[in-house]
Amino acid sequence: MKISSAALSHPSGRLAQVMSRLHDACARAGRDPGTVELIAVSKTHPASAVADLVGCGQFLFGESRVQEARAKIPLCPGRARWHFIGHLQSNKLRQALPCFECFHGIDSLDLAVQADRVAQELGLHPRVLLQVNVAGESSKFGFRPEALERDLETLLGLRRLQIEGLMTLPPAAPDPERSRPFFRQLRTLRDELAARSGAGLPQLSMGMSGDFQIAVEEGATLVRVGTALFGPRPAKGRGMEISDP
């Protein structure tokens, strides 16, 4: 489907274009589009922008800062569902756990243990994805693959956390093809961990505006798309790994 540039200045046109690219990628990979969920990453954008997309039929949203999300979510339509996609500080767990149905940035055993304890206190069973630093970048949060192999059994023993799969954020690169090996590595790691532990680990959260089609080709079940849906963010909000002050 070709979409005119005029249509792309409207949320409905941008959503239609992203959905069409997502369907194309599914077709290339022989996948059912129903197996991939689009998360609209609304960080830095106002509640009104979320409401626009809800009006177009998009209900799943992602935020990466607890304070921003706590201010925004009550102003958004109640039909919106929320995933936390950023690095979570342990002192924000108590505030964050009740706001989100799934947490993509659980990036250390210590954080997982604390999340389990706070979830117990609050009577919650949060869905969790374990963030993996597949490229081994020192600037990125996440489990190194070998640490995850070592810690998985302990993680799966945390009774309050529903560990559903893995998430990654590959190194920023101008050419989306550069992300492919990292997406493939995440999927392979998931397959190994699932086979070894007997845990299902069905979810792979990977792919953003620049590379979500590649991620879908490599097995993503959740893609996190901000810019392609909402337009550019102010420069300050661009950092991927900035946490709350």
Ligand X SMILES: *Cc1c(COP(=O)(O)O)cnc(C)c1O
- Choose one: 14-22, 66-74, 181-189, 219-227; the region binding ligand X (CB under 6 A): 219-227
Among 17, 194, 240, 244, binds ligand X (CB under 6 A): 240
N residues, the chain: 245
Q: What is the sign of the dihedral through the CA atoms of 15, 99, 233 and 214?
A: negative
Q: Which stretch binds ligand X (CB under 6 A): 8-16, 24-32, 69-77, 225-233?
A: 225-233
- If one asks whether residue 126 binds ligand X (CB under 6 A), the answer comes out as no
Where in 89-118 is the site for ligand X (CB under 6 A)?
none
**CA–CA distance, 211 with 181 (Å, rounded to integer):** 12
Q: Is 223 in the site for ligand X (CB under 6 A)?
A: no
Which listed residue (80, 152, 208, 214) binds ligand X by CB under 6 A? 208
- Partners of 130 in beta bridges: 106, 166
Is 64 a binding residue for ligand X by CB under 6 A? The answer is yes
Strands 60-63 and 81-84: parallel
3-state secondary structure of 115: helix
Contact of 231 with 76, CB cutoff 8 Å: no
Residues making contact with ligand X (CB under 6 A): 41, 43, 64, 85-86, 169, 208-210, 224-228, 240
